[in-house]
Structure 1
């Protein structure tokens, strides 16, 4: 049976929240696997994604062109509140039906997009700040095929980087990360060298 987006987002949030809440203020200026984003900028981006995709679930228009500074007093708690609202928005009756957004995409596809953001960016932030992150298997099963299918268009739109080469023994999650242009072995220590700059982009906002 196909899991509902709201259920998948709840599972993804359960894995992402400890990562975000565990970020020390001293790490906000550190690099991330998204080469153009430091930790603070990526947290702001993920905040915006979580807020805007609540609106998309309700068939409201959104604007990704501006990224406010959400990293102000109490931001960790507010991130938890916003993810709870995201789950609620996509759990509402009819949220997965029809289309939403300026591109008129199927609503479930849009829901899978934010599921991908929450999952991949949680890994980005964990890897950047020394945290632990393992995606929930059901989430990975749902989001993996979707990200792979949208990858060519995402690269044209400069949302994904070029696919990163991985070995035959790569795990399904490592393959997903590679599809988005990320080096699954990225570390902050490698970020300053060419081998550590994966060319990954922030997933959301397309």
Structure 2
């Protein structure tokens, strides 16, 4: 259960999805093969990963088992840009459902709020990855960043152990909260 001062994950996801969807919508087919800050993904792979995350974390919100065993090529489907926005909307709805933030979430066995923060982080950081890979600006809503900072610090050791975070990047003094968050995940905000 969250206290009155803690924003609901669904509200933060709604904000993050509203910022990510236009980036997906505006991704030109010509850039699908471009590299991204995620060394293992080009733009197409990154978009397919984002789709997979958005769909599977709907199941986790409902305390059901996700299926991360395969990442379908959603970008090959007609209307994939609109489909992403629709799936992101379903993600927000799933996390807004009563009880979604309570207890543990599905097979992960983690507190539901932590799992919700994981998808919020993916949506936010991968929106930055997509923006950088396609030469567009991106600055997430400060409330989303504030909602992630403590959780990302707690998640970082597990993220590194699971190879989803790189080693933290040292930043100069004066780095923004979002730059520090990116650095915690192993991204160098100044390299892109």
Give yes or no for contact 1:161–1:180 (8 Å, CA) kept in 2: yes
Question: 8 Å contact 1:28–1:38 — kept in the other structure?
Answer: yes
1:36 paired to 2:40: yes
Give the structure, 1 or 2, with the largest relative contact order (CA under 8 Å, sep 6 or more): 1
Alignment of 1:80-99 (within 5 A): 80-99=85-104
Q: How many residues align?
A: 187
Number of the residue aligned with 2:105: 100
Contact 1:19 1:132 in 2 (8 A): no
RMSD of aligned residue pairs (Cα, Å)? 0.9
Q: Kindly provide the CA deviation profile for residues 7-45 of structure 1, in whole angstroms up to 9, marking residues without a partner as x.
A: 110011111111111100000000000001000000000
Q: Cα distance, 1:142 vs. partner? A: 0.5
- Give the TM-score, by structure 1 length: 0.89
Aligned residue number for residue 163 of structure 1: 168
**Aligned partners of 2:108 and 2:79: how far apart in 1?**
34
TM-score of the two chains, using structure 2 as the length reference: 0.95
Q: Say which SS state the counterpart of residue 48 (structure 1) adopts.
A: helix
What residue in structure 2 maps to residue 10 of structure 1? 14
Query: 1:139-166 CA distances to partner (integer Å, 9 max, x unpaired)?
Result: 1001111111110111111111111121
Cα deviation, 1:164-183, whole Å, max 9, x if unaligned, reads: 12111111111100110101
Match of 1:142, SS state, is helix
Instruction: Say which SS state the counterpart of residue 108 (structure 2) adopts.
Output: coil
Q: Where does the alignment leave 5 or more consecutive residues of structure 2 unmatched?
A: none
1:122 is the counterpart of 2:92: no
**Contact 2:20 2:127 (C-alpha < 8 Å) held by counterparts:** yes
Number of the residue aligned with 2:186 = 181
Which residue does the alignment assign to 1:58? Answer: 62
Flag as ranges the 4+ runs of structure 1 deviating above 2 A: none
Q: Which segments of 5 or more consecutive residues in structure 1 lack a partner in the other structure? A: 188-206
Q: What SS does the aligned partner of 2:74 have?
A: coil
1:124-163 aligned at under 5 Å gives the runs 124-163=129-168
* CA distance in 2 between partners of 1:64 and 1:134 (Å): 28
